[in-house]
Structures are given as C-alpha cells and as structure tokens.
Chains A and B, each alone.
Chain A
Amino acid sequence: MSPGKTIEPLWWSLFSAGGVVAAFLVPVHLFLFGLAIPLGWVSVSHARLLALVGHPVVKLYLFVLIALPLYHWAHRFRFVLEDLGLHGLRRPLAVLCYGSAIVGTVATVWVLIRI
C-alpha cells in the first residue's frame, strides 16, 4: 500500500457502529433465539413474533441489528487475515469482506421488505 488519501475511515466508522450494536444487542438475542426459545425455557408465540417483525420500527431495529455487525465483522476479519500473513492480498480481501457485508445488507433489506 502506498501513502495517500484513503477510504479507510468509512470502513472503520461502520466497524465501530457495528461493534456498538453487537456489544449491546447480540448477547441477549443470541441467548433468546439460540438457547432460551429452542430449549423451551421461554416461549413466544409465532403470532406475536409475526406482529413484531411486521412493524416498521421493528424492521428498522432489525436492519440495524443485522446489517451493522456485518460491517464490524468484515473490517475485523479482513485485518485478521492480513495479520495472519495475507497482507499481500489486501485488495482482494477487502473486496471479499466488505462485499459480503454489502450483499448481507441487501439480503436483509429484501427479507424485511417482504414480511
């Protein structure tokens, strides 16, 4: 990489925002949908869930909850791969990681719009 102007602040800002969202919201949601509900510790009716995800404010919440952490992952994972020795593949790694996050964002919009 050569010295010069860079778009890194964009990815870092998205990484930070995603990190905040992940830190505050992911643990409780993972606990609920990965453990508590499947194991029957708590029960939520499908009707209630459907009513919730149909609400536009909840859709916005879900968009933030799902899309932003993807950019958090993309930025961190890209640098992990570089730190593991793949520094020469900087460009392709960036395209792969941020590209995946962008695809995930589009998929999130698509799913949420169709509910």
Chain B
Amino acid sequence: MSEARPARPGLYYPKLPATWWLKRPGYVRFMLREVTSVFVAIFVVELLVIVHKIGQGPQAFADMMARLQSTGCIVFHVVALAFVVYHTITWFQATGVVQVVRVGDRQVPPALVVAGNYVAWVVVTLFILYWLLVRS
C-alpha cells in the first residue's frame, strides 16, 4: 500500500521514479551503504563454509583455501573488503548521531563518540590478529 489518501480531482500527483537514488550524491552514498550489507552477508556465509571445511579435516580446508586463491576470488574479496570497511565507517558515523552519551549534565560531543568507536575497532582487530596468528 503506498497511497495515504484517495487522490483529489484536479491535483497533480508526482511519482517518484525507481531511479530516484541516482539524482543526488547523498542518495548514491546511501545506496552504497545499504549495499554493504550484501557483502557482509556473503562473507559470513563464506565464513560458515570455511568453519565447516575446518571441521571436515585438513584436506578439505586446504582445498577451500586453494579455491580462494583464484584471481576471481581475490578480486571479489578486495571489493568486498572495501564495502565492509565502508559499512564500519558509516556505522560509526551513525553511532555518533544516534548514541547520545551523557556525562553528568553535559553531552559528549559526537566526534568523540565516533573516535571512541574507531579506537575500540583497532583494539578488537589487533586482539583478533594476535589471538589467531601469534598465540599457538
């Protein structure tokens, strides 16, 4: 249902075309942000498959990694990485707007909230890299 009320005679009712998002840079950025979710979903499903292959034994895992070495896969992952990082950037930006952090009577400036998220992101990333690569 997309009509709020019956049309009145004599009035002109404009229709928004399906290409509305191409008309302004802000709209295009919005669409790109929304599309990041597709790459996020593809990757987590891929991760599930990788985990499954790990469970199936060293040969299955090695075969999977070999398949991921193909040029097509690498190119896809470079593109996907760009999109998921764009998700991170836009998500932190949104957090600054949405999350009102109060200290006593004053509001923490949004820029500080955003910066805090980035710091946390770096810490989490380093921790995961350490846990997976350094510890044995």
Contact = CB atoms under 8 A, between A and B. Distances in A.
B128 A38 contact: no
A50 B125 contact: no
Interface residues of B, number: 52
Greatest chain A CB density within 10 A among B44, B78, B133 is at: B44
Interface string A5-36: 00000000000000110111111111111110
Contact of B34 (A76, A87, A107, A112): A76
Interface SS of A by simple majority: helix
Using C-beta atoms within 8 Å of the partner chain, give the interface range for chain A.
Answer: 35 or more
Given A38-B74, A115-B55, A87 B2 contact: yes
Given A46-B62, A48-B136, A87-B2, A35 B37 contact: no
A23 B54 CA distance: 25
Contacts of A20: 91
